[in-house]
């Protein structure tokens, strides 16, 4: 919540106004604005889905969604159900491994999702010399860690016998099953 408050203050300052002009109340887990709008932080741990039920939101932002459980995501989605087309769910994440529901969601050809991929190389806030040094520190530009953390690629664990690309290529709907 501290990061959200920091960004809010940066966005609302200027022209003689301060964020405090619009803040009604502030706590570690929420901000209430003078217009009645609220920004809340909810837990996302293993039992987070049990702690957030019953809330209604127009916008939900889930950070590092591929590391969230499917149960948590299932609990989050109904929170925007009463908002119709105004309800928005934004999922942000470092990719991680090419497995699980988050990877499947990202890889699926589903026009109801807008998907964006932004690498560290495209981020003007990340110094290119630092990024080159970081690549050397964590095993090179072809390492699983570098590709996942900085190139926004879903990767296979280094101990995988077969990578996800090989397994995907091996699947076919044209193969008929022979039963006897």
Apex 91 CA angle, 138 and 144, nearest 5: 20
Q: Which residue(s) pair with 32 in the sheet?
A: 25, 38
Per-residue confidence (pLDDT) for residue 155, from 0 to 100: 87
End-to-end CA distance of the chain: 61
Per-residue confidence (pLDDT) for residue 167, from 0 to 100: 58
Q: What is the pLDDT of residues 155-165, one digit of tens each?
A: 887 655 566 66
Mean pLDDT of 65-80: 88
What confidence tier does 11 reach under pLDDT thresholds 50, 70, 90?
confident
Give the helix ranges, DSSP H, for 14-163: 19-22, 48-51, 70-76, 100-107, 128-137, 144-151
Q: What sign does the CA torsion over 84, 104, 71, 4 have?
A: negative
Q: What is the pLDDT of residues 12-31, one digit of tens each?
A: 765 555 556 677 788 888 88
- Residue in the block written with tokens 């397994």: 167
Residue 168 and residue 55: Cα distance in Å, rounded? 39
């Amino acid at each position: 919540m501290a990061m959200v408050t920091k960004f809010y203050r940066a966005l609302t300052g200027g022209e003689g106004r301060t964020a405090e002009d619009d803040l009604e109340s502030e706590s570690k887990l929420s901000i209430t604005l003078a217009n009645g709008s609220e920004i809340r932080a909810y837990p996302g741990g293993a039992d987070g889905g049990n702690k957030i039920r019953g809330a209604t939101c127009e916008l939900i932002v889930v950070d590092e969604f591929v590391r969230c459980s499917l149960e948590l995501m299932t609990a989050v989605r109904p929170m925007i159900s009463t908002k119709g087309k105004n309800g928005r769910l934004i999922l942000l994440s470092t990719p991680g491994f090419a497995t699980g529901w988050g990877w499947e969601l990202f890889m699926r050809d589903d026009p109801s999702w807008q998907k964006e991929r932004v690498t560290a190389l495209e981020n003007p806030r990340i110094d290119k010399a630092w990024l080159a040094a970081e690549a050397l520190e964590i095993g090179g530009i072809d390492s699983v860690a570098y590709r996942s953390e900085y190139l926004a690629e879903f990767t296979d664990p280094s101990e995988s016998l077969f990578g996800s690309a090989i397994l995907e290529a091996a699947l076919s709907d044209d193969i008929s099953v022979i039963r006897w």
